[in-house]
Structure 1
Amino acid sequence: MSFSPSELPTKAQLDAAKHLSVQDERGDEVPFASLVDGQKVVVIFIRHFFCGLCMDYLSFLSAHLSPALLAEHSTKLVVIGCGSPSFITPYRTRLEFPFDVYADPDKKVYHALGMTRRTLEMGDKAPEYLKSGMLGNVFGSIMSALRFGRVASPGDMKQVGGEFVFDKAGEPVWCHRMEHTRDHAPLRELMDAAGIPYSGP
């Protein structure tokens, strides 16, 4: 299948993804199927762990989407990055992020679900979640690199991610694949797809 920003994964793609694993903060293998089967799940694929744009998105999301609100709607949220699992704990700590984060260093799940685009293009429009402007995000990414260190890889700098909503049966019901580095899904669209009321602007 050629790249599509919104076409749902095929059965073959989904089966392939569910036979793969991601890694938790200890580096232990976690089957991707175990993350998406059994309850409604929102999965957010970020870029590399130093990306200030993705940090802005997750901070914006955390401000509008609390664990209590997710629990009220029987929904789980997980984040997957394409770098080393050694970055997960400092990443969550820096963002004060209350949701689970996993790593897919080889980007196998990304590719299985159709996130094959690699780019450094920024797109024409600044998104709602952007906090500090492009220079601020470049500086933030550099500061993240200095704080986290470079012992392991933070991930592919050109890889872009996306957002998926899975139903209780583990079937994807909505998706948005990023076309450029500032192209995370608008939060209202994501929450509407997950059946969660959005109270933001």
Structure 2
Amino acid sequence: MDAAALTPVTQQISGRASLTAVPTGPDRGQPLAAAVAELPVVDAAGVRVPFGELFRERRAVVLFVRHFLCYVSKEYVEDLAKVPRSVLEEANITLIVIGQSSYHHIEPFCKLTGYSYEIYVDPEREIYKRLGMKRGEEIASSGKSPHIKSNILSGSIRSLWRAVTGPLFDFQGDPAQQGGTLILGPGNNIHFIHRDRNRLDHKPINSVLQLVGIQHIDFTNRSSVIHV
């Protein structure tokens, strides 16, 4: 394996115009290292799948989240669950969430949030590391998220309650690990990457979907899934 393949992706990539259609020729997206594409993610049944297989055939919006007990991740994914399937199918886009817990936590997390699209875990956080996802909280103003309904006190209390009342008392992932958002594929092309600096630094869902040609979705008028 050559040294270049082992180098983490560290460049923040953006650009609206090139993402409304799959770019070709010299405007093609930055390639994802083959060594990273070969790393496994795990589905809810415990089956290991190469990361690159998730977006080999068509473009995907891939959202790496913090631990599954994180109230911010929970509320963000609750809104992801409200994206209409018909809209994704019309745009030929796959929506994928990746966490960093044991795969045993996937099904309960989906039931909690109502999320029904693709979801996997990277328990060893190897892909997080290789993509340069931050570990630790950077003190930086991230503005108010349109997806987070709880404040830090109420959200943290609910997270703790879920931890102590769950069948396994763990954080369902590393609490210090931050997530990020990518637009990938078809093939090993990175079209956009954002690495969260802290728990509230995620990209608003609409701003990401607009990059792949999906028009604004009104989350405020859709009923929210409420769980304590």
Alignment TM-score, normalising by the size of structure 2: 0.78
Is contact 1:90–1:148 with CA below 8 Å preserved after alignment? no
Per-residue CA deviation, residues 124-165 of structure 1 (Å, 9 max, x unaligned), is 333111111111210221122134332666111000010111
Which of 70, 76, 87 is matched with 1:57 structurally? 76
- CA deviation after TM superposition for structure 1 residue 59, in Å: 1.2
Which of 72, 97, 100 is matched with 1:79 structurally? 97
Is contact 1:5–1:176 with CA below 8 Å preserved after alignment? no
Report the 3-state secondary structure (helix = DSSP H, G, I; strand = E; otherwise coil) of the residue aligned with 2:79: helix
2:164 is equivalent to residue 146 of structure 1:
yes
2:196 is equivalent to residue 155 of structure 1:
no
Is contact 1:49–1:154 with CA below 8 Å preserved after alignment? yes
Which of 67, 70, 75 is matched with 2:85 structurally? 67
Is contact 1:16–1:112 with CA below 8 Å preserved after alignment? no
2:145 is equivalent to residue 127 of structure 1:
yes
Matches of 1:35 and 1:185, distance apart in 2? 21
Matches of 2:189 and 2:162, distance apart in 1? 35
Is contact 2:34–2:188 with CA below 8 Å preserved after alignment? no
Report the 3-state secondary structure (helix = DSSP H, G, I; strand = E; otherwise coil) of the residue aligned with 1:77: strand
Alignment TM-score, normalising by the size of structure 1: 0.88
Which of 12, 19, 43 is matched with 1:6 structurally? 12
Using a 3 Å threshold, how does the CA distance of structure 1 residues 123 and 135 change in structure 2: closer, same or farther?
Answer: farther
Matches of 1:121 and 1:139, distance apart in 2? 22
Is contact 2:41–2:122 with CA below 8 Å preserved after alignment? yes
Per-residue CA deviation, residues 7-40 of structure 1 (Å, 9 max, x unaligned), is 48964x5322111001111222111111011011
Which of 214, 217, 227 is matched with 1:196 structurally? 214
- Number of aligned residue pairs: give it: 198
Matches of 2:154 and 2:138, distance apart in 1? 17
Partner of 1:173: 191
RMSD in angstroms over aligned alpha carbons? 2.3
Please, which runs of 5 or more residues in structure 1 have no aligned partner?
A: none
Partner of 1:46: 65
**Bigger helix fraction:** 1
What letter is aligned with 2:58?
A: Q
